[in-house]
Chain A
């Protein structure tokens, strides 16, 4: 007995190790692919993504999952969730880049194991930009609680605030934007009692007052010129109203909007009659990767909110001369609302210039509140466009942006529960094909189940945003620099 007691730790260790190494020998096949959350079945992922931890749906007592590549495999055990070791995961992905790994899930229920049909995860060589910057805010109406702009290391689960209202009590911040995925050139707006635009270049922050008498509002939706010398903005009179019927909540609309371009060097807003017309609404500017064209959305002006569902935006383009800071003399319409009968928002061109992705919804421009909002791709050579079937869902699929290598598209979607927005990533093969998207992995797969904040405006950046909180606070507390105005052409 004493001997048994003495040896018990060893016996215990042997039993543990034995059971770990043994896997599952007796099981029945379910014949189906497991229902997991997030849905990582048959997705395509970059070689540098964090482990895809997941939960098996339904009641389950134990889980045993095998991730198997060409040479190595990872075995993970859990109750109902899978937490993959980061080191092993990284090695597995590195060893299988350009290939697929198979995932076999075994579930233990009612004293027996069952095996699901394996699913596959395709691993792409092309990495994802390492950091994702997004805003976290409750999908509410007029007020906000804890919110801020945050950054997440996509190779791990580390995240931290870039700026939030823990640091700036009562403040609201939005519309963060980077020049060509570069974290050192950044801007965002502050709203509320300390309203201003904060422009950060090479770590130095400047506070701007962009509300001038010549424009209809503060600068709103931004897009950096690739040179870093300009930022295009829309200026909008934005209102919101609240639906009464059960399947709709909020309608956000512009009663006026124009486009202006902020000339950073000369501290002035420039615009032209063609992009700030009284007879139309212009919004959501985006420069082409070569900086020679400015894309935007335009709709015929209509009284709001009476015509809220009759305002439909077309995708347009105008030339831009960055040297002179002037605009072209004509506007091209690439996707006409007369043809689609729908409304375009958020045009975003891949950095290699091969593909333009936009959001198309039934009307208006605030597509996140439109369940019908889907992502479309436009071939800039042929002018043809079509929905990206692989990535769209029944819920709103809306804001999107590209990775610096043009291989990945990140977009926000409400597909999980119809209200709270989450980021998804899809691989673009440069032949016009997008892969089935995967949800931003979290250490705890239940993260999305319990979070009460939406991920807004996901933007990929190549490095970490290095803002010194104290100097940022100092800038925010200082007087804002007023911008000037010039009407061109």
Chain B
């Protein structure tokens, strides 16, 4: 009795730790993945949208998945949704497993499907609908095993297979397997092969012919649907387009998830725990569980991607200072993160002062080359938009949306498209995007506000963001290409010398490329920028040029070069000219200077290995 109570407490503690762990993981260590997922989907709260989804096998699970994913918009709501979903799954799975073996000591097995689900969700290509579909199939299985009369169970099975297929797609495989395994177990029990410790002993198995019926239904239903209702590739027919975002890839992890419950049922059926070994069995089960969890999360979680997504999320939210602070703790390790940091530095007025405090590695850390995929163009659009290249930003974001692997749409992309069209005065198209966003839960408020700007030139002109973009509008047409970004920036700065972000990007472009000749050309523009204090990197670059061309650079330095810069240069030059191992000696105190970058910084070109 006492042992049972202790075991009960252990289950409660285990459940608490497990779900709290998942919450903490997704809330504090992997939250940007959830934001990333949310922004690349568009869930409309309309009947049409629901009906469109319901018209496809697995569409209901897809709808449910995208409905829940939209809550990822709120940072802590996403982890709550995941925990609730997994908790429900665990309860349902527990009810199924208890029919086979209700030994309390084996409780960790009940959590394994939820554990694998939590791992799967670490991969941004697996949508939440993979888990909702699994939950639907498990609910079907729970219904099946709870029917005690075999004739009714046979009917229930024959109905559940097509219904589950239509609602959840390929997850019905899990249902069929559970049904077969369950009946096999009942058959073995009735033939006396083994005794059952499940909830309801004394059940009779269904006739053998129903096994055949289940298998035939399992094969025939998808094929009939493919032949007469929805013509799609065979793999998609038997699985669903809602399990993995790339339609041509086999979602292995999801298939493993689907096979897992019947396998666990068989394990549970075979495992027998003696009274005196309950604690040991529970400990062993927990150990196995922990090992699966550790290895699984190590395999599924991608913290490099999480870092990029974090930068992207902060930039998208215009939390420029937070992005810089994040970079201080997690310096960018690739061009995508670096470009988001540089944008944040520019928008927070720190680019000229602090950009070389971070590891600059080439102009790909300023601009993201165009790739036919959805991540880089989405992030690249932020840079172009903030520089005032509205059409180019529009192109990037449109292309990003068109390359979303699951062929869905993106709320974030539509928001930006609405903005670019408002700025360009294309009110009817802007209105279309705004109307669509008005049909969502979390963008409705934004859409309601944006609607007030339609056809209101004055209001747009006065808006701090959109008005600024209009002010910096390109009036002399040319064909934009990111490969010619230097020329585009130069034209922008020439036409709009007050576009400070564009000016600082152009300066950064030259500084990063160690092109001091062009830096000098920009000095007259810089002098008109009314800097209270000329950015340090500019001062350092100018001092360097002066050092090369003047006998006494300290004396001939223009007034905006600070005394601190002069003194720093003297100190730097002293070490640089005196020691062969200057790079090592200078690293400690001067690695954040432009001089250090100029002398020792390496220009790196992006390569495919960096693209996520």
Contacts and interface: CB of A to CB of B under 8 A. Distances in A.
Contact of A167 (B233, B392, B475): B233
A142 interface: yes
Contact of A245 (B391, B395, B409): B391
A105 B44 CA distance: 31
Contacts of A245: 391, 473-477
A244 interface: yes
Given A143-B399, A241-B479, A450-B436, A246 B429 contact: no
B235 to A, nearest CB: 10
Contacts of B404: 145
Q: Most A CB atoms within 10 A — which of B390, B402, B431? A: B402
A246 B391 contact: yes
Nearest to B420: A246
A244 B479 contact: yes
Interface stretch (A41-49, A204-212, A313-321, A414-422): A414-422
Interface string A138-158: 101111111000000000000
Contact of A242 (B233, B408, B435, B480): B480
Contact of A444 (B48, B398, B403, B439): B48
Given A242-B395, A251-B479, A449-B432, A145 B424 contact: no
A329 interface: no
Contacts of A169: 233, 247-248
A170 B390 contact: no
B267 interface: no
B478 interface: yes
Given A141-B399, A417-B429, A167 B231 contact: yes
Nearest to A138: B402
B232 interface: yes
Contacts, number: 106
Contact of A417 (B398, B407, B432, B475): B432
Contacts of B480: 242-244
A474 interface: no
B151 to A, nearest CB: 38
Given A138-B402, A169-B248, A246 B232 contact: no
Interface in A166-213: 166-167, 169-170
B204 interface: no
Interface in B365-415: 372, 389-392, 394-395, 398-399, 401-404, 407-409
A59 interface: no
Contacts of B474: 244-246
B479 A452 contact: no
A248 interface: yes
A249 interface: yes
Nearest to B48: A444
A143 B436 contact: no
A161 interface: yes
A443 to B, nearest CB: 10
Contacts of A449: 432, 435
Nearest to B492: A244
A93 B423 CA distance: 45
A166 B232 contact: yes
Contact of B231 (A161, A246, A305): A161
A475 to B, nearest CB: 14
Instruction: Bin the interface of chain A by size.
Output: 35 or more
Nearest to A166: B232
B426 interface: yes
Contacts of A432: none
A244 B491 CA distance: 11
Contact of A246 (B44, B48, B435, B473): B473
Contacts of A214: none
Nearest to B474: A244
Contact of B429 (A145, A418, A450): A418
Contact of A243 (B233, B391, B399): B391
A5 to B, nearest CB: 34
B54 to A, nearest CB: 16
A469 interface: yes
A29 interface: no
A469 B52 CA distance: 21
Nearest to A168: B233
Interface string B414-454: 00000000011110110110011001000000000000000
A384 interface: no
A469 B233 CA distance: 10
A244 B392 contact: yes
Contacts of B232: 166-167
23 contacts: A138-B401, A140-B398, A142-B372, A143-B372, A145-B407, A145-B409, A146-B407, A169-B233, A242-B479, A243-B391, A243-B477, A244-B478, A245-B391, A245-B474, A245-B476, A246-B424, A251-B479, A420-B432, A450-B44, A450-B435, A450-B439, A452-B436, A470-B231
- Complex A-B, nearest 5 residue pairs according to Cβ-Cβ distance, in ascending order: A417-B428, A241-B479, A469-B231, A246-B424, A143-B402
Interface of B: 44, 46, 48, 231-233, 236, 241, 247-248, 372, 389-392, 394-395, 398-399, 401-404, 407-409, 423-426, 428-429, 431-432, 435-436, 439, 473-481, 488
Given A145-B409, A305-B479, 6 more contacts: A140-B399, A165-B407, A166-B241, A169-B247, A242-B391, A246-B425
